[in-house]
Amino acid sequence: MFAILWWHWIVFGLLLLIIELGIGTFFILGFAIAAIIVGIMTFFIVFSFNVQLMLWLLFCIIFIAIWYKKFSDTIISKSGQSDYSLDTLGTVTQEIPKHARGKVVFDTPVLGNTEWHATSSVYIPVNTRIKIVKVNGQLIEVEPLSIT
């Protein structure tokens, strides 16, 4: 019966590395590293082929999980207030008296809507370009672009 020796795993891992160099997805890299690790482990401790195969599969699964965790797309939602960017600009459509409500239209949607009721700590006339200071629930506080 043919026995799988430690160097077989090393050669298998190197072959997988060569294949990986040809396709460049870095997915097979984890399989190659797992095979080389099993080869190194088998050099020091003699395992049956079934144990070697199970170790290789275990390391492959671990590398796939690490690869998926590190490189999976993270979906960033702009629908919540805590992660919303305050650099959106807009225009006043209904004058905003000091500490009172008016209406603004933003160039891009803010929390899913382009038209909002807004307040300001200063008087802002119609057609003035504004920027967001903060979002307070369903009310947005704005200021004119000229104020620094």
41-100 pLDDT, tens digit per residue, is 999 999 999 999 999 999 999 999 988 888 776 655 544 444 456 778 899 999 999 989
φ/ψ bin of 83: left (φ > 0), alpha (ψ from -120 to 50), beta (otherwise): alpha
Domains present along the chain, CATH in parentheses: 6-71 (no CATH), 89-144 (2.40.50.140)
Residue 4 — pLDDT band, cuts 50, 70, 90? confident
- What are 129-145's pLDDT values in tens digits? 998 888 877 788 999 98
Please report the pLDDT score of residue 123 as a whole number: 94
- Kindly state the percentage of the chain with pLDDT values over 70: 88
20 Cβ contact list (under 8 Å, min separation 6): 26, 27, 28, 29, 32
